[in-house]
Structure formats: C-alpha cells, structure tokens
C-alpha cells in the first residue's frame, strides 16, 4: 500500500469521526425515556405465581399443582371473564318483549 493511500485512508477516517462528532453535538439533548410503571400484582396472582414456581420443581403429580395450572390456563385464555353481550341488532337481546 502506498503512502498516499494510507494518508487518504486516515483522512477519510478522520473526516467520518468529525462528522459523527458534529451530528452528536448539534442534536438536542432529550431526556431518557421513562421506564414503564410496574404495578404490584394482586395477592391472588402472587399466590398463583408462587404455586406455579413450586410446581415447576416437582416430578410427581400433585392435585394442587393441577388446580394451579388450570387456573393459570383460565387466566391466560381469559375464560374467567364474563362473555360480551350479544349485538342489539341481532334480535336476540335479553330485554326483548319487556315493557318499559
């Protein structure tokens, strides 16, 4: 490699470093994003989590663990929430035929 090529490479690298320094100096300082607020879980979820942790270490079937896993599946698939109401325009509303 010739001496001229080395000088050109060093100059290109220095120019690139200078451009990065200028861009960093010109951009306004923005505060760091606020981390998401972590709310404490309610006692029922904490108990379920502790029970699932205990069950993860067992090698034998346990009825308490089976119940905990079933509760976790219901919570995951949101099966313990009430079903949404039927659409009012479908003609099958539960208050149909009731006089006001």
89 within domain boundaries: no
60 within domain boundaries: yes
Please give the chain's pLDDT, 100 residues, in tens.
789 999 999 999 999 999 999 988 887 777 777 666 555 657 777 888 888 888 888 888 888 888 888 888 888 887 666 655 655 555 554 555 555 4
d(CA 30, CA 45): 37
Number of domains in the chain: 1
Q: Are 68 and 55 in contact (CB under 8 A)?
A: yes
35 within domain boundaries: no
Which range marks the domain in which residue 75 is found?
43-81
């Amino acid at each position: 490699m010739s001496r001229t090529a080395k000088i050109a490479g060093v100059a290109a690298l220095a120019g690139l470093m200078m451009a990065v320094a200028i861009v960093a100096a010109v951009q306004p300082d923005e505060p760091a994003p606020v981390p998401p607020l972590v709310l404490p879980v309610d006692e029922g979820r904490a108990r379920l989590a502790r029970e699932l942790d205990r069950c993860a270490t067992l090698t034998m079937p346990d009825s308490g663990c089976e119940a905990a896993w079933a509760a976790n599946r219901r919570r995951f698939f949101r099966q313990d929430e009430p079903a949404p109401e039927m659409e009012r325009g479908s003609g099958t509303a539960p208050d149909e035929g009731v006089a006001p």
